[in-house]
Amino acid sequence: MWLLLINPNSGNGRGEKVGRIVKEELAALDVEYIDISANSAKQCQENLKSRLVSSQSFEGLFLVGGDGTLNIAIQELVKTSLGVALIPAGTGNDFARTLNLNLKDPRQLISFYLSNKPALVDVGKVGERYFVDVLSTGFDSMVNERANAMHRIKGRAKYNLSILLVLSTFKPKNYEFSIDGLSFESKAMLIAVSNGISYGGGMKVTPDAKIDDGFFDILILTPVSRFEFLRVFPKVFSGKHITHPAV
């Protein structure tokens, strides 16, 4: 018996479409599951939480959604040994990119999950919350917040527009760091603590990161001019920005 959690609102409604395909494929393969889907992120987490505390055991969780839905599920799954079978249906799908999953064929992914065993990945913790991809602060987190508020623009375009809007008024901030016993201060535009490779729909902020090596990759961008930022920014999609002296 599997659990199935679909966030129909992921990817501006793509979650609902992909969810239908997943249900059809699971039925065709005679895979038994309990559907705990919900229309809100909060209810998705509550449904998952209530199932995980029950005495019933499950083979795994088919999760249809994006990075936000995955983050919600991780808060509960990290307390268990249950594996998650991610079916990407979000806007960015960055953790799915890190895993090199097929972003367009949920049927192929289902077959893959049913014929393979789960693998362990590293998990980060901040306060009482967990993350598996990228934790960031500064410019990029402001861009993400602005992009999430855009509902009519889809995909990478809304992140690019958000970058221009935030950059016009953004000012670097002072940060205090304590890393492996080393303490220092620095002014920075953004800081990314990464388990995964990318965020923002394919921006490879830490291209050498590995999700199972026991380490975080940390990127610190010290202040640069707006012109220099826009000049270097396109390189983030290939990961070549890390050679810049301000990184």
Tell whether domain 134-243 is in CATH 3.40.50.300: no
For residue range 204-221, list pLDDT tens digits in order: 999 999 999 999 999 999
Q: Kindly state which CATH superfamily the domain 2-119 is placed in.
A: Probable inorganic polyphosphate/atp-NAD kinase; domain 1 (3.40.50.10330)
Map out the domains of the chain as residue ranges: 2-119, 134-243
Over residues 86-118, the pLDDT tens digits come to 999 998 899 999 999 999 999 999 999 999 999
Question: How does pLDDT run across 235-247, given as a tens digit for each residue?
Answer: 999 999 999 999 9
The pLDDT-based confidence of 176 (bands split at 50, 70, 90) is: very high
Q: For residue 163, what pLDDT band results from cuts at 50, 70 and 90?
A: confident
pTM (2 decimals)?
0.88
CB < 8 Å & 24+ apart, contacts of 12-18: 12/91, 12/151, 12/154, 14/89, 14/90, 15/64, 15/65, 15/66, 15/69, 15/89, 15/90, 17/89, 18/64, 18/87, 18/89, 18/106
